[in-house]
A and B are shown apart, each in its own frame.
Chain A
Amino acid sequence: MPEFTVIVGPQHPALKEPESFTFWVDGEDVVRTQVRIGYAHKGVEKAAESRTYIQNIPFIERICGICNVAHTICYTQNVEYLYGRQIPRRAEFIRTIIEELNRIHSHLLWIGIAGHEIGFDTLLMYVWRDREVVMDLIEAMTGNRVSTALMTIGGVTRDVTPELATKIRKGLDILEERTKYYEKIVASESTMLARTRGVGVLTREEAIKHCAVGPTLRASGIKFDVRAEDPYAAHDEVPFEVITADTCDLFGRVVVRVYETIESIRQVRYCLDHLSSGPIRIRLPNTPPRGESVSRVEAPRGEDIHYVRSDGTDRPSRYKVRAPTLGNLAALVEMLTSKGDYNVHVADIPIVLAGIDPCMCCMDRTARFIEPSKDREWVWTWNQLKKYAKEK
Chain B
Amino acid sequence: MSLEREERLASEIKDLLGSRAVEIKIQRIRSIFVTVKKEDYKESIRKVVDRFAITHLSTITGADSGQTIDVMPHFSYAGTKITFKSSVPKTAAEIDTLTDIIPGAVMYEREIHDLLGVGFKGHPTPERFILPDDWPSDVYPLRKEYKVVRPEPIPKT
Q: A211-B57, A294-B83 are in contact. Are A230 and B30 (CB under 8 A)?
A: yes
Is B113 on the interface with A (CB-CB < 8 A)?
A: no
B74 partner residues in chain A, CB cutoff 8 A: 294, 305, 307
Task: Looking at the assembled complex, report how far the CB atom of A299 sits from the nearest CB atom of chain B, in whole angstroms.
Answer: 13
Q: Find out whether the CB atom of B28 lies under 8 angstroms from the CB atom of A81.
A: yes
Residues A40-93 near B (CB distance < 8 A): 41, 43, 45-47, 50, 81, 84
Q: How far is the CA of A212 from the CA of B104 in the complex (A)?
A: 8
Task: Looking at the assembled complex, report how far the CB atom of B95 sits from the nearest CB atom of chain A, in whole angstroms.
Answer: 17
Q: Find out whether the CB atom of A293 lies under 8 angstroms from the CB atom of B31.
A: yes
Is B67 on the interface with A (CB-CB < 8 A)?
A: no
Q: Find out whether the CB atom of B141 lies under 8 angstroms from the CB atom of A292.
A: no
Residues B77-127 near A (CB distance < 8 A): 78-81, 83, 102-108, 111, 115
Residue of B nearest to A305 (CB): B58
Complex partner residue of A293 from B27, B58, B79, B104, CB under 8 angstroms: B27
Q: Find out whether the CB atom of A230 lies under 8 angstroms from the CB atom of B141.
A: no
Q: Find out whether the CB atom of A292 lies under 8 angstroms from the CB atom of B107.
A: no
Q: How far is the CA of A290 from the CA of B31 in the complex (A)?
A: 17
Q: Find out whether the CB atom of B56 lies under 8 angstroms from the CB atom of A209.
A: no
Q: Find out whether the CB atom of B104 lies under 8 angstroms from the CB atom of A211.
A: yes
Complex partner residue of B132 from A38, A43, A292, A318, CB under 8 angstroms: A38
Q: Find out whether the CB atom of A318 lies under 8 angstroms from the CB atom of B130.
A: no
Q: How far is the CA of A209 from the CA of B55 in the complex (A)?
A: 7
B64 partner residues in chain A, CB cutoff 8 A: 318
Residues of A contacting B: mostly = mixed
Q: Find out whether the CB atom of A292 lies under 8 angstroms from the CB atom of B27.
A: yes
Interface size on B, residues (CB 8 A): 39
Is A165 on the interface with B (CB-CB < 8 A)?
A: no
Contact-residue bracket for chain A: 35 or more
Complex partner residue of B131 from A38, A292, A309, A330, CB under 8 angstroms: A38
Q: How far is the CA of A304 from the CA of B142 in the complex (A)?
A: 21
Is B72 on the interface with A (CB-CB < 8 A)?
A: yes
Complex partner residue of B129 from A38, A208, A212, A224, CB under 8 angstroms: A38
Q: Find out whether the CB atom of A322 lies under 8 angstroms from the CB atom of B106.
A: no
Counting chain A CB atoms within 10 Å of each CB, the highest count among B61, B108, B130 belongs to B61
B27 partner residues in chain A, CB cutoff 8 A: 81, 291-294
A-B contact pairs, 27 of them (CB 8 A): A36-B129, A37-B130, A38-B129, A38-B132, A43-B141, A45-B115, A46-B142, A46-B148, A50-B148, A209-B104, A211-B102, A211-B105, A230-B30, A230-B80, A293-B28, A294-B27, A294-B83, A307-B72, A309-B63, A318-B63, A320-B61, A326-B59, A326-B107, A326-B108, A327-B104, A330-B103, A330-B106
